[in-house]
Amino acid sequence: MSSRVASRTASLASFVVRRHASTTATAPDLPSEIFKRSKHNKLGLSKVLDDVTMRSGEHDMRVFGTGTLAALTSKSAYVSFAASHYHFYSELENRLDEAHRADTPSGQVWGKFASELRRAHRLERDLEDLLGTSVGAHPPSPATSEYVAAIADAAERERGGPPLLLAHFYTRYLADLFGGSMMGWPTRRALGLADVPAFYTHDDASINEHRFEYVERVYAAINAAAVGVSDEDVAAVGEEAKLAFRCNAGVYREEGRGLSMNAALGGARVMWGYAK
The predicted-structure confidence for 225-263, as pLDDT tens digits, reads as follows: 999 999 999 999 999 999 999 999 999 999 999 888 999
Q: Is 236 within 8 Å of 160 (Cβ atoms)?
A: no
Range 167-191 average pLDDT: 90
pLDDT band at 112 (very low <50, low <70, confident <90, very high): very high
pLDDT band at 169 (very low <50, low <70, confident <90, very high): very high
Q: Is 30 within 8 Å of 177 (Cβ atoms)?
A: no
Picking from 172, 63, 73, the residue whose alpha carbon sits closest to that of residue 123 is 172
pLDDT for 99 equals 97
pLDDT for 134 equals 96
The span from the CA of 272 to the CA of 276, in Å, is 6
Has this prediction a pTM greater than 0.85? yes
CA angle 83, 31, 254 (to 5 degrees): 30
Picking from 113, 59, 22, 12, the residue whose alpha carbon sits closest to that of residue 247 is 59
The span from the CA of 210 to the CA of 174, in Å, is 15
Residue 123 has pLDDT above 90, yes or no: yes
pLDDT for 28 equals 56
CA angle 128, 10, 144 (to 5 degrees): 40
Lowest mean pLDDT among 55-69, 73-87, 133-147, 232-246: 55-69
Alpha helices (H) along 183-210 = 184-191, 205-209
For the stretch 233-247, what's the b/e string if a residue is b when 16 or more beta carbons lie within 10 angstroms of its beta carbon? Answer: bbebbbebbbbbbeb
What are the CA-CA distances from residue 207 to residues 46, 89, 203, 225 (Å)? 19, 19, 8, 21
pLDDT band at 13 (very low <50, low <70, confident <90, very high): very low
Percentage with pLDDT > 90 across the chain: 70
Q: At what angle do helices 3-24 and 62-70 cross, to 10 degrees?
A: 90
Q: Is 158 within 8 Å of 106 (Cβ atoms)?
A: yes
The span from the CA of 19 to the CA of 80, in Å, is 27
